[in-house]
Amino acid sequence: MKILTNLMGSVVTGDLIADAAVAYHDTLVARRTVDLIELPVLIHGDLVRRATMAVGWLTELTSGPGPHVAHEVADATTAKNLRALAREERTDRTRGVLDFDWGRTVEWDGTAAKK
């Protein structure tokens, strides 16, 4: 479980959902756009409800470890859809910093990592 936090407060959701929400958020920030997402969240210990939150440009979204609970909030469709939206936004964009030829290989401990 992970805690997603924005300016309005925090929600607890599953790891895959939280990671997908953050990926979509980061993509929207790069595009300077905003969207509303709906995701399942844990309330009152074991009830799962859906919450809507704004993500993207000029919003803040952080993710951190959540409480240990008996069952993970899982919704494969929500996670899959958020990942698809992030991919779609990344491919439908203008050139970014890493797209230019001067992006170079960085080496750590003798191993090369591509940009």
Spans of all domains in the chain: 2-113
Q: What are phi and psi of 91, to 5 degrees?
A: -80, -20
Kindly state the percentage of the chain with pLDDT values over 90.
43
Q: Using 50, 70 and 90 to split pLDDT, how confident is the model at 104?
A: very low
Say if residue 97's pLDDT is above 50. Answer: no
Which DSSP symbol is given to 8?
T
> What confidence tier does 92 reach under pLDDT thresholds 50, 70, 90?
low
What's the pLDDT band for 61 if we cut at 50, 70, 90? very high
Mean pLDDT lowest among 17-21, 25-29, 87-91, 99-103: 99-103
Q: Is the dihedral of CA 84, 89, 92, 97 positive or negative?
A: negative
**For 1-40, b where at least 16 C-beta lie within 10 A, e where not — what string?**
bbbbeeeeeebbbbbbbbbbbbbbbbbbbbbeeebebebb
Mean pLDDT of the chain: 81
Residue carrying structure tokens 């090369």: 112
pTM (2 d.p.): 0.74
Confidence check: pLDDT of 100 > 70: no
**Helix or strand run (H / E) with residue 90:** helix 76-91
Task: Report pLDDT for 62.
Answer: 92
Q: How far is Cα 80 from Cα 45, in angstroms, rounded to an integer?
A: 25
Whether 49 shows a pLDDT value over 70: the answer reads yes
